[in-house]
Structure 1
Amino acid sequence: MQVGSLALGLAAAVGWGVADFLVARVGDRLGTVATFAYAQLSGALVLAGAVAVVGAPTDLPPDLWLALGGLGVVGAAAYLLLYGSLQVGPVAVASPIAATNGAVAAVLGVVVLREPLGDAGAVGLALVTLGVVGSSVDVADLRRAVRGEATVLPGAALAVAASLALGSVMFALELFGDAVSLLALVLAIRAVGGLASLPLVVRSEAAVSPRLLAQLVAIGVVDAAAFVCFVLGLRAGRVAVVGPASSLFAVVTVVLAWLFLKESLTATQRVGIGLVLLGVPLLAGV
């Protein structure tokens, strides 16, 4: 039974889904780079506040800090690739590909760490992955892409890179286990993205209204909270469960667009959501 880790993975999915919903709205006005920069910087500032209250971890050797810093670089690059793939598009191709990052993490956990999955878990992983991909697809846009009315390769290539990078980061976080404090992990991921984003924010010529700035800060805060839930989920269970569960952020984004933007759900998306509902209990061994 992996109910606790599943719940934390789903909480991470909700946070990342809300963040991506806001990114989709803000990105059209500011562009990928500016949205990425502001969101990463706001998340880093939230982290700075946490460090000021609790104190920075100082018990790690330099080589471990270096490894965490490298992980932060990959994580920041993964976010930029994800935002870029969604902007270059078509979204009907890029989004389903990027949403497979949880499956990448799960496969790495099973192959490298020999994490037990079992027959039911394997079926659950397949159903969840297919459901996430299906719920991310806009069939009409996909048909236009197949007919050559939209350029597919650039967005698809970025999405593949984003999925591999995000899945690798998810898996790598499992390797640190309980040896590294939660704050140290968050510090590594968020500090690198924040520092890299600072010059981008300073040089950005995009006009940022107070309302837009509030949304950007919300993206950073919610994204950081989701990351904390994900790491806690890893410590409560296995990446083979938490990774796919957290990848449901794509489904959350689709549902939010349906609820608040009145976007209709296609038959494929409804089937995808149904597959997710079938697969999640199997994945957790319920």
Structure 2
Amino acid sequence: MRAWLGIGLSVLALVGWGLGDFFIQRTARLVGVWASLLLLSGIGTLALLPAAAPALVAALGDHSQWPPLALSALIACVSAPVNFLALRRGKISVVSPIIALELPLTVALSIAIGREQLSPLQIGLILAVFTGMMLASASTATRLERGAALAFFSAFGLAASNFLIGKNSQDISPMLALLVTYAALTMEALTALLFQRRIKRLLFQVRAHWRLIIALGAADVTAWVGYALATTFIPIAVAITISESYVALAVLLGLLVNREQLRLRQRIGITLAVGGVIILAAVTGT
């Protein structure tokens, strides 16, 4: 039962991140990278503060909890702006599959550092899901478009963040792990905007695009809360595999909603990714 709860939370993260990439790109292009990061992280900080308050009070008396929390926040402060910039400059169809490299990197960290034990079948299914995601991508490996290099760098930082937030969720508290990260990003983005003297302009932008901003915050917070909680029920490697498969889901939605024509390799990729996730969930839940 606990495993199925973790799987359900991972699916929630899948939906949130799928919508989140779309909203991040739109918001970053409308208000800029630092402004969109401030708005997102500010919403996350305010939303999680009540839930994280008990763990925060406990952590104030236990200094051993702060080094891993600080490391997670530091890595997020480097990778998040790069991720936003990549999505702002590039096409989602090109950038998202590159960023999805965070999947095998996160799995590698969870096994090498987190000492997670996965069965050969689980490892094979994770590889099948990742391969499917790459095949389902509309872009080709020979095309290097704007944002691609940034997305590649971002994948490494996001993988480290995924692992550390998952590990801190398991060892300390999911809500506190996220709160510290969101608070650090808020301070970083606010400092950048103060240096750029863009706070006044930001207020006008919020009034003009408040619906999009709320949607962005809701999608991102939902995704990260779902993922962080999921890692307390199932291995980090399984949680990230399920939640990151939104790349294939986006292609499938394009077929169903926009009547897009898919290539053969994309059809194979969707079958691999979706089938792999379903079987992985069944194997993990038993």
**Given the two structures, how large is their TM-score scaled by the length of structure 1?**
0.82
Task: State the distance in 2 between where 1:90 and 1:221 align.
Answer: 23
Count matched residues.
274
Shift in Å, 1:28: 2.8
Instruction: Report percent identity of matched pairs.
Output: 24
Cα separation, 1, equivalents of 2:206 and 2:169: 41
Deviation of 1:265 (Å): 5.1
Map Cα deviations across residues 200-227 of structure 1 (whole Å, 9 max, x no partner).
4553346515351221122122211211
- Distance across 2 between alignment mates of 1:225 and 1:5: 14
Q: Is the 8 A contact 1:21 1:257 kept in 2?
A: no
CA contact (8 A) 1:15 1:249 kept: no
Tell me whether 166-175 or 13-22 shows the greater mean CA deviation. Answer: 166-175
Aligned residue among 210, 218, 243 for 1:213:
210
- Shift of the alpha carbon at 1:229? 1.0
Partner of 1:65: 66
Confirm or deny: 8 A CA contact 2:116 2:235 kept in the other structure.
Answer: yes
SS in 2 for 1:36: helix
User: Which residue identity is paired with 2:58?
Assistant: D
By relative contact order (CA 8 Å, sep 6+), the higher-ranking structure is 1
- Distance change (3 Å), C-alpha of 1:21 and 1:269: farther
CA contact (8 A) 1:41 1:198 kept: no
Distance in 1 separating the partners of 2:251 and 2:39: 23
Deviation at 1:187, TM superposition (A): 1.4
Alignment root-mean-square deviation, CA: 2.9
Cα drift, residue 124 of structure 1: 1.0
Per the alignment, residue 124 of structure 1 pairs with: 125
Alpha-carbon distance in structure 2 between the residues aligned to 1:218 and 1:91? 18
How many angstroms apart in 2 are the aligned matches of 1:174 and 1:40? Answer: 18
Partner of residue 237, structure 1? 234
How has the CA–CA distance of structure 1 residues 11 and 91 changed in structure 2, closer, same or farther, with 3 Å as cutoff? closer
1:169 corresponding residue in structure 2: 161
Q: 1:234 to 1:175 in 2, by over 3 A?
A: same
> C-alpha distance in 2, partners of 1:212/1:137?
30
2:109 corresponds to: 108
The equivalent of 1:41 in structure 2 is 42
Deviations 1:72-123 (A, max 9, x none): 1212322222122223336554321101212211122223333232232122
- Residue aligning to 1:264: 260
1:81-96 equivalent positions in 2, closer than 5 A: 81-89=82-90, 91-96=92-97
Given that residues 15 and 226 in structure 1 are in contact (C-alpha distance below 8 angstroms), is that contact kept between their aligned partners in structure 2?
A: yes
Greater alpha carbon shift after TM alignment, 262-271 vs 244-253 = 262-271
Query: Quick one: which amino acid aligns to residue 29 of structure 2?
Result: D
Distance 1:94 1:221 in 2: 22
Q: Distance in 2 between matches of 1:265 and 1:77?
A: 37
- Post-superposition offset of 1:259: 6.5
Cα drift, residue 13 of structure 1? 1.2
Matches within 5 A, 1:149-228: 152=145, 155-176=147-168, 178-201=170-193, 203-204=197-198, 205=201, 208=205, 210=207, 212-228=209-225
Cα pair 2:22 2:92 within 8 Å, conserved? no
The match for 1:249 is 246
The two structures have a TM-score, normalised by structure 2, of 0.82
In the aligned structure 2, how far is the partner of 1:256 from the partner of 1:76?
32
State the Cα deviation string for residues 167-202 of structure 1 (Å, max 9, x = none): 112222343354412321121111111121224455
- Tell me what 1:148 maps to: none
Deviates more, 1:244-253 or 1:102-111: 244-253
Check 1:195–1:230 CA distance in 2 against 1; reply closer, same or farther (3 A cut).
Answer: same
CA drift of 1:32 comes to 3.0
Counterpart AA for 1:59: A
Query: Which of the numbers 261, 270, 279 marks the counterpart of 1:282?
Result: 279
